[in-house]
Amino acid sequence: MIYAYARVSAKDQNLQRQIAAFSEFGIEKSRIFSEKKSGKDFERKEYKRLLQKLKGGDLLVIKSIDRLGRNYSQIIEEWNRITNIIGADILVLDMPLLDTRTKSDTLVGKFISDIVLQVLSFVAENERENNKARQAEGIKIAREKGVRFGRPSFLYTDEFLTVADDYLCKRIKLRTALKLLNIKQDNFYYHIRKLRNAPE
């Protein structure tokens, strides 16, 4: 049996390009599992439904490796689970070398796929480390130039404290407090909580 899995991260992104590629490959719509969900882990409803269907000898088709997930160490674990524990094959349409089906005329199959996957994992992990290093270097340079990070400090003026006290003592309504201070409701509540938790 041939199944396919399509995923995008955001609700405003479109799944149609992946689904069209699966249809062109000849996969029935009923065997295409798709969802709009982050690839940070494998806690996904449709992906779990797919795994319940997948059996030894089946083929799982995905458009590209990052549609399976974005964490390459987790992808390798999941790849091993599908190919070695479940006993199904995987084909990545955008990278034909990632095809675990054993070919009678070559020695490609699982061995080459595993090597390619490991190389991809190394490249992705290396890129993540480089990004972290570049980010840390950028923050260091910015700090040396006097750039401040985090939420800007909020000065509690006499006016703010008076309005906050009036609001807490129910002498004025929330709408009046927000208008007097020209502040948003979430921000006002944040500072009210901060004042309540401040040490005496």
| Residue 9 is a catalytic residue | yes
Quick one: tokens of 82? 């599908």
Handedness of CA 82, 86, 87, 91 (dihedral sign): negative
Q: Do you know the residue count of the chain?
A: 200
Buried b (16+ CB within 10 A) or exposed e, 167-176: beeeeeeeee
Of the listed 9, 30, 64, 113, which one is catalytic? 9
Phi first, then psi: give them for residue 20, nearest 5 degrees.
-65, -40
Catalytic residue numbers?
9
